[in-house]
Amino acid sequence: MTDSPLDFAVIDSERAARTGYPEAVFCAGKTIGQAEAIITGMAEGGIPVLATRVQPPLADRIRARFPAARYDPLARTLTLGRCGDSPRGLVTVAAAGTSDLPAAREALNTAEFLGSRAELICDVGVAGIHRLFSRLEDIRKARVVIAAAGMEGALASVVAGLVRSPVIALPTSVGYGASFGGLAALLGMLNACAPGVSVVNIDNGYGAGYQAHLINLMGGDE
């Protein structure tokens, strides 16, 4: 199967062969028509689809055509099919607070779409650190932890000091004025005083979930 050109996009149908997975459809900045055409093209080509930043009207149009599509309005992800389903290790998404859920769930849904088992643990921000400790055993079961937090993003540092697995830090745009749209959390996570942390873009749950899945994959089946 070769790349199928639309006049505004080229579906990279060989991507799975090259990197293991199909590309996701990032819908921000695309018109509904463009996004629909790309998703439809992939779906009809038998490629599993993960679309991110999907607004409800687009979701409605896709689900009208493909009733099997699942839409998570909080995460704004839409999926059609799944890339695999192997009994691997666990990806755990630890979210500091309720307001971090959109990014955290985008990460969760991405890891699951790619084939990982994944869990979400919510409201374990460091302001009430006993909540984090009360879930620590669960978090330690993960092969990779995604730490999603806005504000100062301290969750990544604290978790990385407590677990043996790699931590993917996912800064979110949650916060008062001087969070500057997530910049404070981003810088905080990049400067994490604990090693074992690497960082993705602000609110980029997709990137966090993808990287976590690749790492999870390292471990082979259990």
Task: Find the binding residues for a copy of itself in span 153-172 (CB under 8 A).
Answer: 153-154, 156-158, 160-166, 168-169, 171
**Part in contact with a copy of itself (CB under 8 A); list of ranges 41-49, 57-65, 78-86, 205-213:** 205-213
- Amino acid, res. 89: G
| Interface with a copy of itself (CB under 8 A), residue from 41, 48, 115, 188 | 188
Q: Are 188 and 170 in contact (CB under 8 A)?
A: no
- Report CA-CA distances (Å) from 116 to 19, 36, 52, 91, 215: 16, 27, 18, 7, 10
Give yes or no for residue 147 binding a copy of itself (CB under 8 A): no
Give yes or no for residue 22 binding a copy of itself (CB under 8 A): no
CB of 176 to a copy of itself, least distance (A): 4
> Which is nearest to 135 in space by CA: 102, 94, 106, 101?
94
Give the three-state DSSP class for 195.
coil
| Interface with a copy of itself (CB under 8 A), residue from 51, 101, 111, 148 | 101
Structure tokens given for 39: 């998703």
Task: Find the binding residues for a copy of itself in span 24-53 (CB under 8 A).
Answer: 24, 26, 28-31, 34, 38
Give yes or no for residue 62 binding a copy of itself (CB under 8 A): no
Q: Determine the Cα–Cα distance for residues 29 and 13; give it in Å rounded to an integer.
A: 22
Q: Are 148 and 94 in contact (CB under 8 A)?
A: yes
Give yes or no for residue 214 binding a copy of itself (CB under 8 A): yes
Structure tokens given for 158: 């604290």
Binding mask 67-96 for a copy of itself (x = CB under 8 A): -------x--------------x------x
- Residue 51: count of CB within 10 angstroms of its CB: 26
| Interface with a copy of itself (CB under 8 A), residue from 1, 4, 10, 148 | 10
Give yes or no for residue 59 binding a copy of itself (CB under 8 A): no
